Amino acid sequence: MVSPKQLLATIESALLGPSPPTPTQRIELTHAIRNSLPALQSLLSYPPPRASDRAQVQSKEVRLPDSAPIPLDDQDVQIALKLSDDLHLNEVECVRLIFSANQEWGLLGREPLEILRLAAGIWYTERRDLITALYALLRAVVLDQGIEVDLVAGVHKYLEDLINNGLRQRLIALIKELNREESAGLGGPHAENYVLDSRGSLVERRAVVCRERLILGHCLVLSVLVVRTSSKDVKDAFIVLKDCSAEVNVSGDTLKLQIAFCLLFSLMIALISDALSTDVDKASILSRDASFRRDFQELVIVTGSDPNIEGFINGVRLAWTVHLMLTQDNSTTREKMSVSSSNEMGNIYSCLEVICSNNVFQFLLDKILRTAAFQNDDEDMIYIYKAYLHKLMTCFLSQPIARDKVKEMKERAMSTLCPYLMSGSYDNKLDTRMNAQQTIVFSSEPFVSLLEFVSEIYQKEPELLSGNDVLWTFVSFAGEDHTNSQTLVAFLKMLSTLASTEEGASKVFELLKGKTFRSIGWSTLFDCLSVYDQKFKQSLQSTGAMLPEFEEGDAKALVAYLDVLQKVVENGDPIERKNWFPDIESLFKLLSYENVPPYLKGALRNTIITFIQVSPALKDTIWSYLEQYDLPVVVGPPVGSSMHQISTQVYDMRFELNEVEARRERYPSTISFLNLLNGLIAEERDMSDRGHRFVGIFRFVYDHVFGPFPQRAYADPCEKWHLIVACLQHFRMILSIYDIKEEDIASVVDQSQLPTVAQSAPLEMQLPVLELLKDFMSGKTVFRNIMGILLPGVNVIIADRTSQIYGQLLERAVHLSLEIIIHVLEKDLFLADYWRPLYQTLDTILAQDQNLIVALLEYVRYDFQPQIQQCSIKIMSILSSRMVGLVPLLLKSNASNSLVEDYAACLELRSEECQMIENSRDDTGVLIIQLLIDNINRPAPNVTHLLLKFDMDMPVERTVLQPKFHYSCLKVILDILENLSKPDVNALLHEFGFQLLYELCLDPLTCDPIMDLLSTKKYQFFLKHLHTIGVAPLPKRNNNQIVRISSLHQRAWLLKLLALELHTGDMTSPTHREMCQNTLSQIFVCDMGESELDLRTSNPLFLRNDADYAEVRSITKTKVIKRVLELLDVFLFRSPDTSVRYSQFVSNTKYNLQVENILGNPSTSEKGGVYYYSERGDRLIDLASFRDRLWQVNILHYISTIIFAVGGNSRFRRVM
C-alpha cells in the first residue's frame, strides 16, 4: 500500500514536473495509482471504533500490521482512546498515528495535549495528501498541462473507472457529511478543537475540515468534465447546494462561499455539457431520462423565501432552461408525443419567467463573480467557471426562445428607464467606479444586468471571445435604438470587454467607425467632447457667467465611450493603431474645467495613458498637451501646515483633491493624474537633471496625496488603495531610476547647518530622491505612512486579501512598500556617515520600535505572493548584517518562535514546487539558505543560530540539536537532502544545502552540534549520500547544463564534508569513530560482497591485519591508492580558489610555467581573457580562448628559440 504522501509526490513528479516524465517515473506512477485504488474508491472512509480493538489498546500492547508488538503506557492509552472518540477512528489506527507522530516529531518530553494534536495533525495531513493527489490526477486530465497524450489517456481511463464505481457520489456525500457537528465531521461538543499541522502550527480543526471540503468540491467540478453526470448525482448535488447556500447566508465565510460555488458550477457544467454532448461514446444522459426531466423540473421550479438560496437556485434554473432548450427537439422526436412537447415548452417558459423576474444575472454578478471569494479562488477553477458561463450564455443567446425574451427585456428597459438622468450637485452624483455592493439602482433592470453579466464573463478571460459569432450577433442587436443613458452605458461597457483582445479591438474599432449603429460611434464621442469644450469657452468669455452644469447622463456615457477607446488602443495591433486616432487633442480640453465631474477626468486621463505606448513621438505630444490643458501643480505648504497660505485661491490639482474630491470622498481624478504622470516619467530616458524637473510633482504627491491619506475619508475602499498604490509607484520609481552622487552629500551637509530641521531647502535646490531618503532617514511622513500600511501585520493582510474586494490592491501596496524599504536600505549607508546626526540609517530608525522590525520580517509568512516573501527575506539579510542585537530583539519581542516556523514553512513550500525557477535571485529557497550561510560567522547569537533552532538560552556550541522535535529550517533542509526529490527543480536547494552544512561544520561554534547530529544513526548522513549523489550519474550535458553544474557542486560539497569528518571527527566519541570507520569501509570495500561488507562495523578494513584480508588488500591495492589520493585531493579543494591543480602529465611538461602564467595572470579574468562567468556566478575556463593564448605562448617560445639558435649556434650560422 502506497502512503498518501508517496502517492502525491509520485503524481507531482510525473505529471507536474518541468520536463516530460522518464520511463521510471511513468512506471512508478502506474504502480502508485493502482495500489491506491482502494483508498480512492473509499475516499476518506476509515475503520470505525471497535470494542475488541479498544480492549486491545487498554491491554497496553498493540500489534500493527507488519510490525512487532508495541508496548503502551497509561498516557499512550488515554491519548489513543481520546483520538478515537474525537475522530470516530479505530483505536488501533489511533495507536499507529501516535507511533507516526513519534517518528516524525519525537514525542519524548511533550505534553499529552500536544501529542494528541500532533497525532490528529498526522491524520489530517494524510487525508489532505490523498484528496490533493486525486485533485492532481483530475487536473492532469481536464486541463491542458502539456502532458503526453498516452499518459493522459491512461490516467483518464483510471479516473473513469473510479467515477463509474461511485467516486462522485462519495464526493457529494463527503461535502455534506464533513459539515456536520459530529466526530467524523467538524467534531463533537467534547472534541479537541485544534490540531498541529505538518509544520507544527496550531490550526483550528474546523478550518482544516472546511479546506478539505473545498478541495473535494473542486474535485467534484473536475469529475463532471471527465465522466457525464448521472441523474441521481444531479439531484443529490442540488440538495446539498441548497443546504450550503443556506449556511452561506448565515456565516458569509469565504471558504463556505467557494464550496457553494463548486456545487453551483458542477450543476451548471453537468447540465450544459450533457446537452452539448455530440460524442457517440458520451451521448447525453440526462435528456434521455424522462423521469429525471420531470422530477428535476419539479425540484427547481419550487420557490422559497430565502433570497440567497433562491439566488443560487436561479443559477441552476438558468442552466436547466438552457439544457431544456438545447435538448427539446431530440426529446420530442424520440418520444413522438405532442403532449410531452407542449409540456417541455411550458417548462421552458415558466423557468424563463422566474429567472428573468428574479434577475438571475444581477445575482450572479453581485453575489458570485464580483465577490472576493470568487476572485480569490483557484485560478484554474475560475477559468473553468468562466468557460462554462461563456458556453451557457452562448447557448442562451443562440436560442430563438431566449432571444425573444431578451428582446422583450430590452423593450421593457427602453420604455421604463428615464430617457435622461438629471444633473445634481457633486455630492449627489453617482460614480461609475462604484463597487459591487454599491451598485446603482438602474442595474436591477434585467436587460442592463444581462449586458453587464456578459461583460464580466470575458473581462479576465478574453480569449474565450475568439470565433464567438453568436456574441457579435447579440452585439449588433443590443446596440440598436438606445433611448436612455443607462442601457447605452451597459452596452458600451460590454464593448470595452469585447475589445480586450487584438481581434476584438479591431472589430470594435470598425464597428464604431462604420454605420452599424445610428447614434453610436467614435464621432459621437469626439463631437460630444468638442461641444462641451465650446460651450465652456463661450461661458468663460461671457462676463460674470457661470459654467453650465455637465449633464450626468452625458458624463457617464462619455466615461463608457472612453473605456471602449482605452481598450481598443491598448489591445489593438501595434502597427494599425498608430493610424486609428491621429488627433487626440480633444481628450485634454476638458481637464481644466472645474464643473467637469472628477470621474470623467479620471476616464480621460486613463485613456490618455494608453496612447503613451503607441509611439515615442506621441509621448512628447502628450507632455505638451498636458502642460497646455491639464490642471497645474502649484507647490504650496502641506495640508494642515501652519505656514502662510497662498493668498489667491488657484484651481489646480491641490484644490481639486482637497476641496472637490475630498468632499465627495472619491478620488478618481487624482488617481488618474498620478498614474498618467507615472506612466510618462517611466518612459523618460533623459536622466541628466536627476529628476529635478519633476520635483513639483513629487512635492504634490508627498505633501498633499500620500502625506494626509490616513486622515482622509473614502466612500470606496478600493479607491483608497488605488491612490496609495499610485503614490508608492511614484516613490519606488524615483528610488530605482535616480542614483546618489558625491555632490549630494555636500549639499545636504550644508543644509544641515540650518537652525531647525523643519526648514527645508528651496524648491529649486531639491531633488526628489534626496528628499525621499531624508524622510526615511529621519522617520518622517512617508516612512510613517508606509509602516502604517505594514504594521497591521501579515495575518491581518492575509485575512483582508482573501475576504475583501480590495485585497489584491492591498497586496500590491504591501509589495511596493517593502520594495521601497529595500531601495532605501541600499542607499542610506552611503549618506549616513555624512548626514549624522540629523539623519540616521534606516535600520537605526527601525530599531527605535521593535514592532516595526518584527512586522517587516513576518511577511515571510505571506505565501500568496512569493515576491513579498523575497522582499522580507532580503530585509532580514540586510538588517542581520547591520544590527548585532537583531536576534536578542526578536527574542525579547516573543516573535522568534513564529519567525523560525515561518522561515521553515517558506523553505518547505519552495521545495515542493514543481516548476523550475529560472533566476536564482527570485528563488525564495536559495535566498533563505544564502541568508543562513551569510550569518554563520557573525557574532552569536545570530540569525543562523535562531532559524536553525540552536538553543538561545545557553552557549551555542553546547546545543543538542533536535530537528525532529522542533520545526525549523534545519529540519526542512535535512529532509530535502535526505529525499533529494525533483533534482531538476531543486538542484540549487540541494547544492546550497550541502554548502550550508559544510560551512556550519567549519564554524567553531556550530561545528560540534552539527557534526554530532549528522553522525547519529538516526540520519547516517555521510553513508547515505555516498550511495546517492556520490555515485549517481551526471545529468547529460546537452539536456540540462544548469543541473549538471549544480550536481558537480553538490558532489564537491559532499566530499568536503566527508573529508572534514574524517579529518576533524572526535575519535574519542563512539559515534564519530564508528562513522569514520564505516565511511572508509564504504569507500575501500565497495567492490566486496555483501557478506564481507557486513563485517565492516565490528572489524573495519584498515584495522584488520590477519591473513584473511591480506589477499583482499593486495587485489584492491590499486583502487585503494586511487581513492585515497582522490580523497586527499579533496583537502586541497578551495572554492572559489583561483589556483588550479593539473594532472601529473601537465605538471611535468616544459610548458607548465606558461600555463600557470596564463591562468594565474589577473588580467586574464577581465573581458577577453581565458576566464568567463556563468549565469550563476561560477568562474569557468573558456577553452577556445585558453587554446588561443597557449598557442600564442608556444609560437613566441618557438620564435625565441629559433632566434636564440640563430644568434648563439655557430654551426647553425654556418649552415645559414
Taking the C-alpha atoms of residue 333 and residue 571, their distance in angstroms, rounded to an integer, is: 47
Biggest CA–CA distance in the chain, Å, is: 127
Please say if the pLDDT value at position 615 is more than 60: yes
pLDDT of residue 1086: 46
Which has more confidence, 1174 or 823?
823
- Dihedral, CA atoms, 64, 67, 68, 70, nearest 10 degrees? -40
DSSP code of 631? Answer: P
Cα-to-chain-centroid distance, residue 659: 40
Taking the C-alpha atoms of residue 175 and residue 684, their distance in angstroms, rounded to an integer, is: 56
Task: Give the list of residues 6+ apart from residue 458 with CB closer than 8 angstroms, or none.
Answer: 386, 390, 464, 465, 497, 498, 500
Instruction: Answer yes or no: are the C-beta atoms of 1190 and 1196 closer than 8 Å.
Output: no
pLDDT of residue 1095: 38
Neighbours of 642 (CB within 10 A): 6
Please say if the pLDDT value at position 1153 is more than 70: no
pLDDT of residue 766: 81
Q: Which whole number is the average pLDDT over 1190-1203?
A: 68
Q: Where are the domains of the chain?
A: 1-227, 232-398, 436-583+596-603, 631-642+650-846, 881-1035, 1144-1215
Please say if the pLDDT value at position 246 is more than 90: no
DSSP secondary structure of 281-321: TT--SGGG-HHHHHHHHHHHH---S-HHHHHHHHHHHHHHH
Taking the C-alpha atoms of residue 391 and residue 1098, their distance in angstroms, rounded to an integer, is: 73
Indicate if the alpha-carbon torsion angle 974, 976, 978, 983 is positive or negative: negative
Taking the C-alpha atoms of residue 1105 and residue 50, their distance in angstroms, rounded to an integer, is: 61
Instruction: Answer yes or no: are the C-beta atoms of 200 and 901 closer than 8 Å.
Output: yes
Q: Which whole number is the average pLDDT over 665-673?
A: 94
Q: Which whole number is the average pLDDT over 52-70?
A: 88
Phi then psi for residue 852, to 5 deg, are -65, -45
DSSP secondary structure of 1123-1180: HHHHHHHHHT--TT-S-----HHHHTSTTHHHHHHHHH-GGGGSTTSSEEE-TTS-EE
**Please, which pLDDT band fits residue 1125 given cuts at 50, 70 and 90?**
very low
Q: Which whole number is the average pLDDT over 994-1001?
A: 93
Three cell numbers written together for 908: 518547505
Chain segment 535-590, per-residue pLDDT in tens: 888 888 876 667 788 888 889 999 999 999 999 999 999 899 888 988 899 999 99
Taking the C-alpha atoms of residue 930 and residue 942, their distance in angstroms, rounded to an integer, is: 14
Please say if the pLDDT value at position 636 is more than 90: no
pLDDT of residue 1046: 84
pLDDT of residue 796: 94
**Please, which pLDDT band fits residue 334 given cuts at 50, 70 and 90?**
very low
- Dihedral, CA atoms, 393, 398, 402, 407, nearest 10 degrees? 100
Taking the C-alpha atoms of residue 469 and residue 390, their distance in angstroms, rounded to an integer, is: 13
Taking the C-alpha atoms of residue 656 and residue 663, their distance in angstroms, rounded to an integer, is: 10
Task: Give the list of residues 6+ apart from residue 421 with CB closer than 8 angstroms, or none.
Answer: 485, 486, 551, 552, 553, 556
Indicate if the alpha-carbon torsion angle 892, 893, 898, 904 is positive or negative: negative
User: For residue 392, what is the enclosing H or E element?
Assistant: helix 379-398
Task: Print burial letters for 549-566: b (CB count within 10 Å at least 16), e (below 16).
Answer: ebbbbbbbbbbbbbbbbb
Instruction: Answer yes or no: are the C-beta atoms of 634 and 648 closer than 8 Å.
Output: no
Which has more confidence, 828 or 420?
828
Which has more confidence, 559 or 329?
559
Phi then psi for residue 461, to 5 deg, are -125, 65
pLDDT of residue 644: 42
Please say if the pLDDT value at position 259 is more than 90: yes
pLDDT of residue 754: 43
Please say if the pLDDT value at position 1185 is more than 70: yes
Instruction: Answer yes or no: are the C-beta atoms of 726 and 682 closer than 8 Å.
Output: no
**Please, which pLDDT band fits residue 1175 given cuts at 50, 70 and 90?**
low
Mean pLDDT of the chain: 83
Which has more confidence, 225 or 1021?
225
DSSP code of 577? Answer: G
Task: Print burial letters for 933-951: b (CB count within 10 Å at least 16), e (below 16).
Answer: bbbbebebbbbbbbbbbbe
Reference 286, options 329, 339, 324, 333; nearest CA is 324
Hunting for cell 605562448 — which residue is that?
A: 1193
Hunting for cell 610555467 — which residue is that?
A: 1153
Which has more confidence, 236 or 1103?
236
Indicate if the alpha-carbon torsion angle 1175, 1181, 1183, 1187 is positive or negative: positive
Taking the C-alpha atoms of residue 347 and residue 333, their distance in angstroms, rounded to an integer, is: 17
Chain segment 1109-1122, per-residue pLDDT in tens: 444 444 444 444 44
766: helix, coil or strand? coil
pLDDT of residue 545: 66
Task: Give the list of residues 6+ apart from residue 1101 with CB closer than 8 angstroms, or none.
Answer: 1080, 1081, 1084, 1085, 1109, 1112, 1113
Long-range pairs of 792-798 with CB within 8 A, sequence gap ≥ 24: 793/855, 793/858, 794/855, 794/858, 794/859, 794/861, 794/862, 795/861, 797/862, 798/861, 798/862, 798/864
DSSP code of 702? Answer: I
Chain segment 739-754, per-residue pLDDT in tens: 888 777 766 655 544 4
Phi then psi for residue 1171, to 5 deg, are -100, 150
Neighbours of 832 (CB within 10 A): 17
Enumerate the β-bridge partners of residue 1179: 1173
- CA geometry: angle at 967 spanning 961 and 972, to 5°? 90
**Please, which pLDDT band fits residue 1032 given cuts at 50, 70 and 90?**
confident
Instruction: Answer yes or no: are the C-beta atoms of 269 and 224 closer than 8 Å.
Output: yes
Instruction: Answer yes or no: are the C-beta atoms of 1206 and 1216 closer than 8 Å.
Output: yes
Let me know if 906 is exposed, middle or buried by CB neighbors in 10 A (0-12, 13-18, 19+).
buried
Three cell numbers written together for 67: 510490525
List helix spans (H) across 542-629: 552-571, 598-611, 616-629
DSSP secondary structure of 951-1000: -TTS-GGG----TTTS-SHHHHHHHHHHH---HHHHHHHHHHHHHHHHHH
pLDDT of residue 20: 86
Chain segment 405-428, per-residue pLDDT in tens: 999 999 888 887 766 543 333 333
1053 vs 612, 1008, 1100, CA distance in Å?
Answer: 52, 18, 26
**Please, which pLDDT band fits residue 1129 given cuts at 50, 70 and 90?**
very low
Three cell numbers written together for 1047: 550536481
pLDDT of residue 542: 76
DSSP secondary structure of 823-884: HHHHHHHHHHHHHTTTS--HHHHHTT-HHHHHHHHGGGG-TT-HHHHHHHHHHHHHHHHH-T
pLDDT of residue 253: 85
pLDDT of residue 1167: 52
